[in-house]
Structure formats: structure tokens, C-alpha cells
Amino acid sequence: MKLLFLNGPNLNMLGIREPDIYGRKTYADLEAYIKQFCAENGIEATIFQSNHEGALVDAIQQALGVYDGIVINPAAYTHTSIAILDALKAVALPAVEVHLSDISKREEFRKISYPGMACEKTFAGFGFEGYKMAALYLKERLGK
């Protein structure tokens, strides 16, 4: 099974940016965590991070026919990007949304998720563990 893990703006600043909300582990720690649990579970993982909406849209479009599913943390684009929503709908791959923090318990504007409207599930507030939960959900859902 092949999964694409997409991470949006400022996730490259993990460990530096608001550590009381996002934790003290770095983006490199997140990548290592994803690679390790995927290897342990027979999942081929590609991990991509960008601060640019178009790059994320391009990655979603290029996933068609290559990946079995998408795990996406759109970060700030969660609350603004109809383009990412439309890309997810266009490729129609099974997708799961992940957020390190529980966006439902934060500022009002963070409670709306456009990309989430094209995702089968959302795991929010579980830190790095949310990525594992999303991948295992897709593995079970796809029967792989």
C-alpha cells in the first residue's frame, strides 16, 4: 500500500512554533515517526511539506494513479483552501485529515475545514499519533 503524507504551511517549524500547542518535537522527528510506523505496517510512504498552496494542489493531482490514499495536514490552509478541497475531490482518492492540535477547541475560524469536506475521517488533537491513526484507518479501509 502506498500513501502520500502531505503537510501544509509552517509544519516545517515544528518544535519552534508555539511549542505549547504543537509540541517540542521537530518536523524531522515527525518524518522519522511516519517512516518508522509505515515500515512496521507494510506501508510505502511519501512525505511532502510545502508552505505553498499550489505545490500542495500539484502533489494531490500527481497522486492520482500512484498512491492508494492521502493523509493530509493542510495546516492553515484547512480554513481557507477551496483549491485543496477541489483537488482532493478531483482525484477522489481516499483521504484522511490530520491535525496535531484539536482545532475544534481553538479559535472560531479554525473550526471550519474545507479540505476536510473531501476526507473520510479527521484525527485532531492526537499529536503525531494522528498520522498513525489515519494511515491505519486507510490500510484497514482499503483492505491492505
Which residues are designated catalytic?
A: 22, 99
SS3 assignment, position 46: strand
Q: Which residue has the cell 512496521?
A: 40
Nearest partner of 73 among 109, 141, 123, judged by Cα: 123
Task: Say how far apart CA 34 and CA 72 lie, in whole Å.
Answer: 13
**Residue whose C-alpha cell reads 503537510 in the numeric block:** 7
Strand pairing partners for 73?
Answer: 7
